[in-house]
A = this chain, B = another copy of it.
């Protein structure tokens, strides 16, 4: 593959001039610049990224570490990040941590090695990855979940408030035994939603009971089992606040298997809007999170920090909004 000196030879100039011409530096004779451009074109020259990165001690790459690209919520975030990154001339390395501290740690290591310009991290709650990044002074923005014990930029959603609103809504619809199916303990979003749910019960003066709360991974399968257990126990809930749209699939399957109809038999509100929620009968009430915006904003913050435009740390909390549909009214 052609190098900068091949181009220089062909254009009859030095490599310095080629570099300057190709990078659009002002101080280059137009005629020489044209010759350089032509030579580069003829040779199909592409600057060697690693060489440039080494020399400049910086790369135009961001890393996005999320739990799972197959989760539509994270996909939307990824899309937001990618759009902004691409716009700014940055590439995006995608990493699935599967919510395991080991994989997260491994990916942070890769990011550090490759000297990525910055990292967007939806942390598992594992402390050392954050300190690791800090030690190497790589800019980080926490996405969807805060970084434990460390002041860093973060773009979050007010899950607690959203869960409270959703719970109040269910109570207002006349459901009296409202349950909650949330994600694993220790995952901030899961915990916040549970706390918000309890806030809601309290505000609505509805009795809380630990038998109405279940946790599972943020996946359909676990949620299905948990929902089944919840609905077949003594004194089952008559409504359910569900942790995300993937879990909602499991819950809806469990309901169908028990011949229970959403809304009529069991009131339902799930976190995350998804295109298919309106197709159900009845359509699913949801807490819609601005996932794309989270990603786009986080990427913008990260870029600002990378370029040094901003040095103070900021936590932005976006709000989610309740979309009431048929599944939450008897």
Using a CB–CB distance below 8 Å, which chain A residues touch chain B? 1, 44, 46-51, 53-54, 59, 61, 68-70, 72, 75-76, 78-79, 82-83, 86, 91-96, 109-110, 112-115, 135-137, 220, 246, 249, 252-253, 256, 274-276, 278-281
Contact = CB atoms under 8 A, between A and B. Distances in A.
Nearest to A64: B94
Name the 9 nearest CB pairs between A and B, nearest first. A50-B53, A49-B114, A276-B276, A94-B94, A50-B54, A49-B113, A249-B275, A46-B112, A50-B50
Contacts of A79: 68-70, 96
Given A54-B48, A70-B76, A70-B79, A91 B91 contact: no
A50 B114 contact: yes
B69 A75 contact: yes
A135 B50 contact: no
A230 B13 CA distance: 63
Nearest to A110: B91
A281 B281 CA distance: 7
Nearest to A255: B279
Contacts of A94: 78, 82, 92-94
Copies of this chain, how many? 2
A91 B114 contact: yes
B93 A48 contact: no
A156 to B, nearest CB: 22
A261 to B, nearest CB: 10
A249 B114 contact: no
A276 B274 contact: yes
A54 B47 CA distance: 12
17 contacts: A44-B135, A49-B113, A50-B50, A50-B59, A61-B93, A69-B79, A75-B75, A79-B96, A91-B95, A91-B110, A93-B93, A94-B94, A249-B279, A253-B279, A276-B276, A276-B279, A281-B281
Contact of A69 (B78, B109, B136, B280): B78
Contacts of A48: 54, 113, 115
Between A79, A82, A275, the greatest number of chain B beta carbons within 10 A of the residue's beta carbon is seen for A275
Contact of A280 (B59, B72, B253, B280): B280
Contacts of A83: 96
A25 to B, nearest CB: 19
Nearest to A256: B279
A256 B281 CA distance: 11
Contacts of A72: 70, 72
A79 B276 CA distance: 22
Between A53, A92, A279, the greatest number of chain B beta carbons within 10 A of the residue's beta carbon is seen for A279
Contacts of A280: 279-281
B92 A46 contact: no
Between A68, A91, A109, A280, the greatest number of chain B beta carbons within 10 A of the residue's beta carbon is seen for A91
